Each structure stands twice: as structure tokens, then as C-alpha cells.
Structure 1
Amino acid sequence: MTTRTSLQKTLGIGLTLGVTLLWLLGVTASGLVAQHEMNEVFDSALEETAQRILPLAVTDILNRENGAGNQKAPALKDHDEYLTYLVRDEAGNILLQSHDADPGVFSRTPAEGFSDTLTHRLYGVSAVSNTIYLEVAEPLAHRRESALEAGLALLLPLLVLIPVSLLGVWWIVRLSLRKVVDFQQDIESRGAGDLSPVVEEQLPREFEPIAGAINRLLERLHRALESERSFTANSAHELRTPLATALAKVQRLKTRMPDDYLKNDVAEIEEALRSLSVLSGKLLELAKAEGGGALSQSQQDLVPILAMIARDFEAQAPGRVVLSLPEREVNSFLDPDAFAILVRNLIENALKHGSRSEPVKINLNDNGVLRVCNGGARVPPEQLALLRNRFARAKTDAAGSGLGLAIADAIAKGAGMTLHLRSPATGRQDGFEAELNLACI
């Protein structure tokens, strides 16, 4: 599964990491340059120190009365020496040394120029025809400490600059993408049946073609749905009118027939026309249910619609419909006409196939959950799984086309709901129950 992140988050993190990386690279480059320059300064100091001390050391050695023995230069006061020196003859004998000098850090044989040991940087110079050598030593740890302090001096400002850069980048990205976020929220917040155009104003230039394409698609979809609704309505009128006319003429012809045998034939034609009229109505309902017109652009209270439909069935089947309604409104984006078709098919299915000695219970609670329950024999699981299909029927003697539950399921799917079918019904050992949540759209 692909993990998707927001553009705002990606830009914010990417720019912050990029700025941080550039700062670190800049500090590293600056540190390396500073270290190189510092090494040049320290080498120059070593050389300058040797050049200054050498004449004094030579004068002191040549003016000695007791020979050329080793002497230590006295210190005026106690202090740490970063630079120490030795004065030796060509054989390596020490003639003079600084008060804190350690002969072990110098090379055994004196040499001119720069050289390095594991711990010190050395510079040597000679005088009196290469008979007197002066070497000055500086600890490498001193140079490393100086380089570290210089690097920290460059790095410490980043502790402030990086958080400031992070806040600045997030603020700029958020400000730049504010209209894009509003555009996203506008699309996310609208209902599935809202086909009104999205707002294109003040969007960044890169997103204007997207908004334009979405609006063109919504317009085409709206026209297609309106055309389909118009076609379904016209088809219903054009089919029902001739069927009703033919049925009326057959009924009138039946009353004029003197022969009982002919009357039976006309009665069969009458029943066939009536079945054809019902079937055509169901097929048109199925076409409307599958046509994508199950949602409206605004929410509607479905409680009065359910009450009206229940009263119609109560008049047709007195005492067999028990209705339970909530005290408050149940609002849903489900199209009122689609809801009426769905409920009529569920109640009609319960009345036809349920036990005639038990009422059909219709319950709509405050949370928008609708249940239609009837008594009767249990429906086997293998048959229950097929009842959503067209023309599929359980084993029953009741008349029907096998389209009622298919129409209800098509409307539920078109609205993004799930129609649950159960047998036995909840809390019973028998019966049948249909349930769906009208408020989950």
C-alpha cells in the first residue's frame, strides 16, 4: 500500500532539511578554511619565534665561561608554555632549553625546517655554520583545540538559526499553499451529491487547470444525471399510460362478455397486463436506482417521508404495519424520491413474504438506523446471499418479480450505504430483517 503525504508537509520537511544541510556544509567548509589559515598562522608563529630566540641563544652560549653545558632558561613566573624550545649542537647535545621543555618530544637528531611527531609540530633552524641548532615545538592538541573552538563558534549559531529556519519555511509554505488547502477542504467537505462548481479564484497557476477540469467533469455529470432522470420519468409516463389504457379497456370488455369461458380468457389477459404494469414500474425504479441519482445536494429530513409511506401501506394492509419513529429529525443526503422507492420496496417485500399473522415492524432510531422486520420462516443462508440479485426469490408462494430487494440494494450502494439482510431477524429465532444506516452518507 502506497503511503501518501501532503504537499505542504513534503515541502516543509524538504526545504528545512535542505537549508539545514546547506548550513552544515557551509560550517564544515568554513571550519576547514579556518583550520588551514590557523595552521599557517601557527607555523608562522613557530618560525618567527625560532628566528627571534636563535640570536639570543647563540649569544648566550658563546659568552659562557664554563663551557657549553646544558642550561635552562629561567621563567619570570609560572605559566603554561604552548611553545617550548631546545638548543643543541650538531651531535644532539642540549646546550639550552626552555624551562618547561621535554626533550622527549623532540627528534633525536636536530634538523632544519618543519616536521611532525605524533604529538607536536616542530620547526628547526641552525646558526654558526650548522654547529648550533634551535628547535621550537608546539603541541598538536593545542591546534586541535583551537580548531574545535573555531568550529563550535561557527556551529553554535545554527542552534538558533535552524529552528528559526524551520518556522520560517513552514510559515512560507503554509501561506503559499493556503488557497490550495482551502480548495482541498472545499472538495472534501461537500456531500457526494453536491455537483456545484468548485471555487477557482486565487488558486496558484499550477492548480487552475485541475480546478477547471473538475468543474467541467461536474458539469458533464450533472447534465448526464438530469438527462437520465428526465428519460426515466418520460419512460415511466410513456409505458404506464398505454398499459393503464389497455388494462381499462380489457376490464370494460370483461364486463360485456356474456360467455364465462371468454371472461376467463379476458381475466387472464387482465392479470398479465397488471403484472406487466407492475414489472415495468419495478424495472424503471431499478433503472433510476442504478443511474446514480440516489443523492441530493442538501440534507433532507426523512422522518415525514417514512411516516407518509407507512400510512399508505397501513391503508392497504390494516393492522399489519407497526411504525416507530424518533422524536427528532433524521437528516440525510439520500434523495427523497430514492428513499421513498427504497422504503416502499422493503415494506412491500416484508408484507408479501412475511407471516400474515404477525405485523411488519418499521423502526427508525435517532441515529438514522432503519430496520424493517417481519415474521415468517427462516431464509437459508445460501438463498439469503442471492436475494440482492435481480429476479432472485426465496422459496415462497407469494407473487412478486424478485426485484424489490435488488432495487433497495442498488439505491443503498448508489448512496454509499450498505443494506444488511438477516434471517433470522435480530432477537428472534425466525423472520427476516433489512437494516441500513441513513445518516452514514
Structure 2
Amino acid sequence: MKPASSLQKRLGLGLTLGMTLLWLGATVGAWVVVQHELNEVFDSALEETAQRILPLAVLEIGNRDEPRQARHIAPLKVRKEYLTYLVRGAKGEILMQSHDADPSIFNPLPVEGFTTTSRYRLYGASALREGVFIEMAEPLAHRREAAQEALFALLLPILALIPISLLGTWLFVHVSLRSVRAYRRAIETRGVGDLSPIKVDRLPAEIDPLAEAVNHLMERLRKALEAERSFTANSAHELRTPLAATLAHIQRLRREAPEGPLQVRAAKIETSLQALTRLSEKLMQLAKAEGGGLLSEAPQDLVPVLAHVVDECNHAAGQRVHVVLPAARSVLSAIDPDAFAILVRNLIENAMKHGAPDRPIEVSLSSQALLRVVNAGPVVPEPILRRLTERFVRGESGAQGSGLGLAIALTIAQGVNATIALVSPATGKQDGFEVIVQFVLGR
């Protein structure tokens, strides 16, 4: 799945790119206009220069002893000339030329008006009834150089404005999306079971209806979950008394019944009632795990709670559980002690039911609030391992159970912001099953 991109990034880059393209388009349009105006100015200068030189050239030629003899006009300073000229007769003979003029760049015969070659822009004019012609030449490279300098003068400010506009756009979008980021943080920081409405002021008009819809959806979901938990808890609670009474009657019936089929049927009924009683207890634990109240007001020490639960399990299972406690003898976490006891008891019961009966169960708690419960047994296949935390899902061991133990442990872990992982084979072993729970350390 392609990761989602940041709205701030998309808006910042999009707006900056759009403004840059608009600026470049405007710059190109301005450059075209400037280039056209430059050509008009250069043509005007070429024409005016020819009109001013031509009378002087005619006067100078008329005062010569030999008017038809070509003559170079010496410059006051030797420098590169952008404008060169030829003064010629009607047949093309050269009467006068600038010192740097190259006759090969001009037309073979004088031509009045503007003409353009591959390298020069030419202008011709005549005097004395078209007996004397002047042609001015200007290199096109000179005009291109002027146009390039004008283009650079237009582009340089844009190159400086691009990073400034990017920074300004980024800051503006960052400030504008401040309420959206606050809304995102409010969603990210709340716990799994927190379905209360999210209140964030001054959301954009495009986001505010979405936030309202999310709040309505969360309210409906909260009511549905509360109804489900209430039904589960009430049902389990109401079943406890009749189940206990029925179980007592069945046990008395077993003692009073003679040996035979009635005794066998009574034993089966007793087993079913005991399983139903355990299921009722699991449902009450699940309702407590989903109903909140999993965090205590102050950090609690997990070590004595773990030791007490292990002692209870060993009393019922014949010292099968081996526990390793941290050397510090004190591990603080914000989880409620009752919730922690329910989680540990479910993990140990799961290990007893599905682990090898002749192998011990290893329970350890580190000083970093890392709980591990390990039991021996066959390796659990990966497809089944991924689904074991779902409700009413059991492994392939064939042991009797409700399929709620790991689901209750996962619900409690999520409610206290702990992480839970199922591993098979167990860490450092060839077989077995391991549950690892990392709690948040208290301060």
C-alpha cells in the first residue's frame, strides 16, 4: 500500500510550483515584449544614425578633389564598432566607409530600407536623387546579447523569490493546518477504549463536518459496545447463581445415585456445568477488560501481584509454574492490579491447558516490566498463531477451553497501552509456545 503523503507538503509544493510556473510564464511573455521593443529601438537607432551620417558624407564627398575615390574614416579611439557603414554610388562603388567595415557583409548593390542576413541587420538610405547611398550594419549577436541580458535581469529575481515563496507558503500552510494537526494528535493519543467525542476548536470548514461525523459514529459505537458489555456482564452475573445451585444439586445427585448409567450421566452433566461456569467467569472478565478501569490512578507494583497469582495457580496445579522475579523486587506500572491478575491468570491457564502436562511453565517478569509466559509443547502453525487472540479461537491441542483467554489478555494489554506478542517455537527453543507482554513502566 502506498504511504499517504502530507497535505502540508502537497499544498506547499503545489502552490510554490504553481506560482513559479506563473512567474516563468509571465517572464517569458515580458521577455518577448522586451525583445520586440529592443529590436524597435535598435532599428530606430540604426535608421537615425544613417540619417545623420548621410548628409555629412555627401558634404565631405562633394568637397573632395576626386569625389569617387574611396576613403576610410579614421576613429578617434580604436575600439570595436557595433555599427559599421558604407557610402556607395548607384553602381555599388565604395565612396566612404567606417574603419572597421567589411564590404562582404553588405548587399552587392545598395538597397534602401531594412534587410536582414544570417548575421547582420542592415539599413539603407539614399541622397542626391539616389546618387549616393549609405548602408548601416549591426551584428545580430549584439541584439541577442542585449536580449539575453534582459532575460537574465528578469529571471534572477525569480530565482531568489522561489525559496522565499516556498518558505513563506510552507509557513502559511503550516499555520493554517494547525487545528488539523491538533485533531490528528487528539485521535492518535487516545487509548483503544476511549470513544469519547473529540473536541478541537477552529477546524477548517472542509474538515469540521468530517469531525462531527466521526464523533457521531464514535458515540453510536460507544453505545453499542456498552450495550454489548452490559449484556455480557449481566448475563454472566445472572447465570452464576443458578449455575452454582444446579452444580450443587448435580454433585449431590452423584453422591446419592447408585453405580450405573445414572452416575455416568450425572458426571457428564457436572462436567458441562463446570465448563459453563468457567465460560461465565471468562465472559465477566472480558466485560471488565472492555469496560475500562484498567489503569490505576498511581503506579502499582506488579511483583507481589504476580507472585500471588502464581501461588494460586501452583496450589491448583501442583507446583507446575516456575516464576522468575526481578532482582529489584519492585516493578511499577500504571495497570490496575486486578486487571494485571486477570491477564496473568489467563496466560498461565492457557499454558496449563495447551502445554505439555509433564513439563513446567516458566513465568518471568523483568525490571523493565516485560512479562513472559512459556510452556512446552508442539509448535503452533503460523496461520493459527495469528488468530489465537481472536475470540473463541483455539489451537489444535484438543484441550477443553472457551477460546477467550488470549482474547482477554489482548484486550487488557491494548487498554493499558501494552504490547503483546505470541511466539512459537518459544525463544531459544525448538518447540513450545511463548507470550510476551511489554507494559509501560510507571514513574
Q: By how many angstroms is 1:187 displaced?
A: 1.3
- 1:250/1:266 contact within 8 Å kept: no
Q: How does 1:21-170 map to 2 (within 5 A)?
A: 21-170=21-170
Match of 1:310 in 2: 310
Match of 2:273 in 1: 276
- 1:410 equivalenced with 2:407 (yes/no): yes
CA–CA separation in structure 2 for the residues paired with 1:165 and 1:101: 51
**Against the structure 1 CA distance between its residues 39 and 421, is the aligned structure 2 distance closer, same or farther, given a 3 Å change threshold?**
closer
Matches within 5 A, 1:202-281: 202-253=202-253, 257=256, 260-261=258-259, 265=262, 268-269=265-266, 272-281=269-278
* Compared CA separation, residues 287 and 70, structure 1 to 2 (3 A): farther
Alignment partners' CA distance in 2, 1:381 and 1:166: 55
| Aligned match for 1:420, one of 415, 419, 422 | 422
Deviations 1:326-381 (A, max 9, x none): 44536477x87665444323322434565666543211224444322345xx4266
Corresponding residue for 2:16?
16
Query: What SS does structure 2 have at the residue aligned with 1:156?
Result: helix
Bigger CA drift: 82-91 or 186-195? 186-195
Q: Which residue of 1 aligns with 2:397?
A: 394
CA-based RMSD of the aligned residues comes to 3.4
Tell me the number of residue pairs that the alignment of Structure 1 and Structure 2 aligns. 427
Partners of 1:165 and 1:56 in 2: CA distance: 57
Deviation of 1:283 (Å): 6.3
Q: Secondary structure at the match of 2:203?
A: coil
Partner SS, residue 311 of structure 2: helix
Instruction: Describe the shift of the 1:3–1:345 C-alpha distance in structure 2 as closer, same or farther (beyond 3 A).
Output: closer
For structure 2, the residue ranges without an aligned partner over 5 or more in a row are: none
- Name the amino acid aligned to 2:273: L
Q: Name the stretch that deviates more: 9-18 or 311-320.
A: 311-320
Q: 1:295 to 1:120 in 2, by over 3 A?
A: farther
Q: CA offset at residue 222 of structure 1?
A: 1.9
Could you list the per-position Cα deviations for residues 117-141 of structure 1 after superposition, in whole angstroms to 9, with x for gaps in the alignment? 1211110011222221110111111
How has the CA–CA distance of structure 1 residues 192 and 131 changed in structure 2, closer, same or farther, with 3 Å as cutoff?
A: same
Give yes or no for contact 1:111–1:124 (8 Å, CA) kept in 2.
Answer: yes
Looking at structure 2, the residues matched to 181 and 383 of structure 1 have their Cα atoms a distance apart, in angstroms, of 39
d(CA) in 1 for partners of 2:97, 2:317: 124
Paired residues of 1:321 and 1:361 also in contact (CA < 8 A): yes
Residue type of the alignment partner of 1:261: E
CA–CA distance in structure 2, aligned partners of residues 436 and 238 of structure 1: 34
Partners in 2 of 1:383 and 1:7 — Cα distance? 38
Report the counterpart of residue 171 of structure 2 in structure 1.
171
Q: Evaluate the alpha carbon distance shift between residue 276 and residue 129 of structure 1 in structure 2; reply closer, same or farther with a 3 A threshold.
A: same
- Counterpart in the other structure of 1:360: 361
C-alpha distance in structure 1 between counterparts of 2:50 and 2:395, whole Å: 109
8 Å contact from structure 1 (residues 390, 402) kept in 2:
no
Q: C-alpha deviations, 1:186-207, integer Å up to 9, x for none?
A: 2122232322321231212221
Equivalent in the alignment of 2:346: 345
Q: Which 5+ residue runs of structure 1 have no aligned equivalent?
A: none
TM-score, with normalisation over the residues of structure 2? 0.84
Overall identity of the aligned pairs, in %: 47
Return the offset for 1:24: 1.6
Counterparts in 2 of 1:107 and 1:226: CA distance versus 1, 3 Å: same
Contact 2:113–2:124 (Cα < 8 Å) also in 1: yes
For the residues of structure 1 that align with 2:383 and 2:125, how far apart are their CA atoms? 106
